[in-house]
Structure formats: C-alpha cells, structure tokens
Structure 1
Amino acid sequence: MIIGIGSDLCNIERIQASLDRFGARFENRVFTPLEQAKAARRPFTKAGTLAKRFAAKEAFSKAVGTGFKAGVFMRDIGVVNAPSGAPTLALTGGAKARLDAITPDGHVAMLHLTMTDDHPWAQAFVIIEAVMKDSV
C-alpha cells in the first residue's frame, strides 16, 4: 500500500545562486558528504546534480507529511544509488524516525525515487510503499 507521495520542482539557477553566494556553507548545511562528492565530480553540471537532490529531499519531506519540521532535516535525507544504479534514499535521524512512525506495524517501507532535470528545472518524485514483512 502507498503511505506517502511527494514531488518537488527546483530551479537549478536558484541552487547555483546559493552556491555562488554561500559556497561550502550551503553545501554542508543541505547535502551529505556523498552527495557533495558526486556533485564535485560533475563540475559542468554541479548545480543540476545538487538541484535534483534538493528536489528529492523536498519530495520526501512532503511524502512523510512533515516538510522540514518535527525533526526532519535536509541532511538526514541522502540520495544514494542502489546496486542496480537506480537512485534511492538513505535516511538518518529525524527523517528515518518519521518514516518509521508512519510505517504500519508488520510492514517495511520501500522508497521509490525518480529524478530528472532539464535546465533550468530539476524535478523529483518520491513514493513510499508499505510492504508486508513476509513478502520482502
């Protein structure tokens, strides 16, 4: 069963402006070290890479129904790649606690993430699915 859906549209130029104005302070406040390293390997598309991840964080916060309140912080939500290469989310702190709180007993949460960008826009969708523990 689906227990949460979230989407976000992010302006890549807005992310570039934040990088230009605040630099590492902005990156360290919003993105995990893994996300920062991935973006650093893409100097010509760094802002787009980060904008997709920013959108994914926003989409997740909407899917769990809190936004960035109730202990859910941007750095608690990290975009990583599954062994298949597909993007997914790694959660810590308040983001993980909120996901655990909305997952029904006897179920595990499966996160589905898709991201795309076409300058000047980056977009992400998150679907949270609760699956019976027996069927995982």
Structure 2
Amino acid sequence: MLSAHQLQVSCADLFGAVSGGHAGKAPGLGVDLVHVPRIARALDTFGERFLRRLFTAVEARDAGSEPMLRVERLAARFAAKEAAIKAFGLAEVGVSWRDLEVERLPGGVPVLRVHGRAAEVLRSRGIAHWALSLSHDGDHAVAVVAIVQPAVSAPSAP
C-alpha cells in the first residue's frame, strides 16, 4: 500500500505529465488523503475550538453523533477541503476552511459549497462547476475534487 507521501508524489508526477510539466499550476483536479487518527487526536486535544475553526454547523451536523463514524466523516470533509484547495489553486489566496463546505444531500450524496473569499476567487476565474467524491474506511479518508464543464445539450431537430 502506498503511503500518503508516495501518493502525493505520484499525483504530482501525474499532474506534471498531464499539464505539460506545469505541476505547480492548478490542474483542475485535487486529491487528498487524511489519516483519521490525526483528526481524532485534534478533536480530543482542541474539541469544539477545532470543530468551529475548520467545519461549518452543517458539516458538524452531517457528521452525526456516533463517535468513530463522526471522526471518519469529519476526516473526509477535511480531505475535501484540501482537495478543493488543490483543484481550485487556492493555496496562495488565503481562504477560510469554512469557505469550503461539504453538505450531504438526501440520499447521502456529498456536494461542495463554496462561500466567501473562495467563491469570489472561483467567480473571477470562471470556475462554476465541480464534482466531489468522498470515501472513508478505518484509518483513512480520501476526497477528490475535479473542475468540470457543464453538459451541453444537443441542438434540437427542427
């Protein structure tokens, strides 16, 4: 199994190949892997302060109340925020963690909502559509964010 560092290096190599060697620029795809026990330790150490700094009330609610599942879900949401920062090229912009919000729709589908400074930057860059995928199992949570173009419907026949 690849370590988180090896996965980051592999992804960076892939982005460099796909973008013609411009791995430093936002490729429109962000991936992040989080070690769930790290989030559990932060919650144990900092409690509500940690929750309020990184997560919105919606995210805290959607994470549920069963302790282990809650930590896994929060780790996946943290991974989503990191993946979004990579996909959207926000690392140098200075956005709040809470500007990036993962909400679970009825049926469990996660969506990424963007607020505040992050929303301003995306508007200025013409980024309006993206996809999010989350997964968590045991000690790991992963998220992928990809900028997508809206589907163009075929012209109707006369």
Q: Is TM > 0.5 for Structure 1 vs Structure 2? A: yes
User: Residue in 1 aligned with 2:63?
Assistant: 39
Aligned-partner Cα distance in 2 for 1:83–1:13: 28
Aligned length: 127
Higher strand share: 1
Matched, 1:115 2:134: yes
Deviation at 1:90, TM superposition (A): 1.0
- Alignment check: 8 A CA contact 1:87 1:114 kept: yes
Equivalent position to 1:129, from 119, 136, 148: 148
List structure 1 runs of 4+ shifted beyond 6 angstroms: none
Q: Tell me, in whole angstroms, the C-alpha distance in 1 between the residues paired with 2:148 and 2:125.
A: 11
The answer to whether residue 96 in structure 2 is matched with residue 77 in structure 1 is no
Unaligned runs of 5+ in 1: none
Shift of 1:123: 0.1
| Structure 1 CA distance for aligned equivalents of residues 55 and 146 of structure 2 | 21
Q: 1:86 to 1:22 in 2, by over 3 A?
A: same
Percent sequence identity over aligned pairs: 39
Other-structure match for 1:26: 50
**CA shift for structure 1 position 83:** 5.3
Equivalent positions of 1:44-55 (< 5 A) are 44-55=68-79
How much has 1:129 moved relative to structure 2?
1.5
Give the Cα separation in 2 of the matches to 1:40 and 1:84. 15
RMSD: 1.9
- Structure whose CA Rg is larger: 2
**C-alpha deviation, 1:4, in angstroms:** 1.3
Structure 1: how far apart are the matches of 2:43 and 2:107? 30
Tell me: higher relative CO, structure 1 or 2? Use CA pairs within 8 A at least 6 residues apart: 1
Tell me the alpha carbon deviations over residues 17-40 of structure 1, each in whole angstroms, 9 at most, x when there is no partner.
Answer: 000000000000000001111224
TM-score normalised to the size of structure 1?
0.84
Give the TM-score taking structure 2 as reference length: 0.73
* Equivalent residue letter for 1:16: A
Secondary structure of the residue that 2:102 maps to in structure 1? strand
Report the counterpart of residue 122 of structure 2 in structure 1.
Answer: 99
Give the AA of the match of 1:6: G
